[in-house]
Amino acid sequence: MVIFSTGTLLLLYKKSGDRVVYLFFIFLQCIITSVNASYLESYEVLPMMATVVFIISGNFIGPTLIHFLLLFPRPLRNYHRLRIFLWIFYIITGVFMLFSSFQFITEWRNGSLFGPVFMKLNTTGIWTLNILFFLAAIITFIQFKTNKNTLVRNQVILLFIGIFFSLFLVIFLALFYQWLNELNNRVPFVFPMINTINRVILVACILVAILRFRIWNIEVVLKKVLLYLVATAVIILTNLLLLYLVDLFTLHETNATRFIVLAIAVIVFLMLRDRLQRLIDRVFHREVYDSATVVNDFEEKIAGTYRIEDLNSKIARGLDDIFHFKTFILNLRKEGLTYESTSSTGYDSQNNNSEFIIDKEFENRLIKAKVFSPGELEDQEILPVISGSELIVPLKKEDEPFGFFVCGPKKSERIYSMQDIRVLSLIARRVIALFHTAALYEKDLDRQLMLERERARISEDMHDDIGASLTRIALMSDMVKNRDDVGDGARKWLGYINESSRGIMEEMNQIIWALNPKNDNLEGLVAYIRRFAFEYLEPSKIRCTFDLPGDLPVRALSVEVRRNVYLVVREALHNAIKHSGATQIDLRLNVEDFGLKISIKDNGKGFEPDKLELHGNGLINMKKRMNDIGGKIDINSKPGEGTEIKLELNIP
């Protein structure tokens, strides 16, 4: 009973605001008093006061047990309506306790202890306790029928076992009270022993039900205490056995013999330690795994996911892969006390994207950022989304609630261990970081979309306004130049104007093409190079052949890459027209898994690539442009054998 009482004090320390713990503490003190005390046949004041305490404690065992069972493992349905009957029990018990105490004090003062009136009251009290224990058994049965959760039912079964033993003793005492009194007079230790065993079974069952299935955050301490107790037992028993064998086969013991025996006992424990630890873990129904590996695997599965919708579903699936929930819901804060269920497992799809409002008590629990169970909330019907759940895991960002996980039972029907809770807390912090990264990605994506819209607008404005103006200048200069009344000098300058405006139009078309976000892909680059090469070589006598793939993969290309590749191809074609004297140019393009290869080959007179200074800055600029975009250029040429320029570029 001292061990039980110490365990209850630890519960009071860990769960100072839990009514269930307070009730169990009061109930346990009543049990301890009833087990360790009895009616004292003494006329001194101190024994009289001790007997009165014994009477009070015995009367309050039943009501406190019923009150406890109405709230544990979960508050019974319509608990608020049943509280009036609970108060009736307390009042009746209180009145009966006062009357019994008054009668005992009266008989004590009159010098006639345990008279017929008091004995009649005592028998009535036993029958009353019998009725209350019977009601307690009914309540546990109702709890078992109304709760479909396997874990809750396991708790109720433990409670029912303890109540059954106590009820059996109380019924036996009520039916055979006189006979048991006579037996107790002949054999004084029998009745106290039976009473103690039944009370110990009752308290042990309730305590195990609480510690084994409720989240008390003291499991590590309990497991260590159990391991130390088992270690002590193993060492002592091994030591005694070995000493017995020594005494059996030797004449006498020595200090050296005792030391060797103790050392062997310790070694035996060390050899059994891991197996004993596994047995203790099995008692607590724990699944042992490597926390670091689990968290790393979770992060790997979600790495590279930046869309909020995809992230929500992947988080739910990733957690389900670890714990195998029957039910799970991820809830995120929208604004204020309004939250939204964004993804779930084990529920109908209609539960997703449903909004609900939490109260301040729930928000305060989330701000603490510690895992808790729904039963720890004052209002048991606070939210429909937490009904039937086992744990609530807060998500906290910068001292503000961000959301929470609602974790239902596991499919394996195993309970959540402290390791599970630590892993869930760690994953909750990682989830906050993932959402933060996703939010930054979406902001960057919005910025990119805004830039693309602006590029498209500029490209359209340049095409519509500036392009139209340049075209009008070129046409007007052509019209004026062809008039008969225009002199040769003016016609010459008008020709310059016409050529300049058309050159500007060509450069502007390149800028418009580069700016238009619709062309930010491989297909846009290839189409533009083909059209440009055809138009650029058409006035010359050079024949051009194209070897391009029919189906191009979808590959995104930045403005810088498209522009530099185009300018390098343009410079290669320009050099072929200006310097090579070629009659044929072959333009070939190959797309590989992660790369693009372009070849421009002519049948001209060729040159020596080592003497680039003979050809101006064109080839130097080509190399620089390819280096700027992380590509390579290879110039193969010999005098009289033509020239081939190869471009290589890695693209994702």
Secondary structure in 3-state letters for 295-336: HHHHHHHHCCCCCHHHHHHHHHHHHHHHHCECCEEEEEEEEC
How wide is the angle at C-alpha 627 spanned by C-alphas 625 and 631, nearest 5°? Answer: 100
pLDDT at residue 55 in the model: 86
- 51 and 144: one domain? yes
| Structure tokens, 400 | 């503000």
pLDDT at residue 614 in the model: 47
- 271 and 333: one domain? no
Say how far apart CA 67 and CA 243 lie, in whole Å. 52
- 617 and 636: one domain? yes
Domain boundary among 163, 188, 214: 214
Using alpha carbons, select from 23, 33, 16, 154 the residue that is nearest to residue 86.
23
- 279 and 295: one domain? no
Q: Is residue 14 part of a domain?
A: yes
Say how far apart CA 122 and CA 119 lie, in whole Å. 5
Exposure string for 562-571, b = 16+ CB within 10 A, e = fewer? bbbbbebbbb
Q: Is residue 498 part of a domain?
A: no
- 353 and 227: one domain? no
Domain boundary among 174, 194, 214: 214
pLDDT by residue (tens digit) across 418-451? Answer: 788 889 999 999 999 888 888 887 777 667 667 6
Strand order in the sheet with 400-407: 354-357, 338-345, 328-335, 400-407, 391-397
Q: Is residue 477 part of a domain?
A: no
Residue 213's SS3 state is helix
Domain residue limits at 18 = 2-214
- 415 and 300: one domain? yes
- 189 and 264: one domain? no
Q: Which amino acid, residue 376?
A: E
| Structure tokens, 530 | 């083909």
Exposure string for 437-468, b = 16+ CB within 10 A, e = fewer? ebeeeeeeeeeeeeeeeebeeebeebbeeebe
- 142 and 265: one domain? no
- 439 and 586: one domain? no
For every residue of 92-125, DSSP letters joined together read HHHHHHHHHHHHHHHHHHHT--S-HHHHHHHHHH
Measured in residues, the chain has a length of 652
Say how far apart CA 108 and CA 650 lie, in whole Å. 103
Domain boundary among 214, 244, 272: 214
Q: Is residue 499 part of a domain?
A: no
Using alpha carbons, select from 583, 488, 513 the residue that is nearest to residue 541.
583
Q: Is residue 461 part of a domain?
A: no
- 209 and 230: one domain? no
Q: Is residue 435 part of a domain?
A: yes
Domain count, the chain: 4
Using alpha carbons, select from 352, 360, 392 the residue that is nearest to residue 378.
360
Q: Residue 298: phi, psi to the nearest 5?
A: -60, -45
CATH of the domain at 548: 3.30.565.10
Say how far apart CA 405 and CA 413 lie, in whole Å. 19
Which residue stretches of the chain have pLDDT < 50? 349-351, 380, 614
Using alpha carbons, select from 334, 330, 308, 306 the residue that is nearest to residue 317.
330
| Structure tokens, 390 | 């086992």
Q: Is residue 629 part of a domain?
A: yes
- 528 and 430: one domain? no
Say how far apart CA 333 and CA 523 lie, in whole Å. 43
pLDDT by residue (tens digit) across 133-163? Answer: 889 889 999 988 887 766 677 778 888 888 8
Q: Is residue 502 part of a domain?
A: no
pLDDT at residue 611 in the model: 66
The interaxial angle of helices 467-481 and 488-515, nearest 10 deg, is: 160
- 262 and 325: one domain? no
CA atoms within 13 A on the CB side of 67: 21
Q: Write down the H helix ranges in 147-254.
A: 150-175, 177-186, 190-213, 219-249
CATH of the domain at 415: 3.30.450.40
The interaxial angle of helices 45-71 and 19-36, nearest 10 deg, is: 140
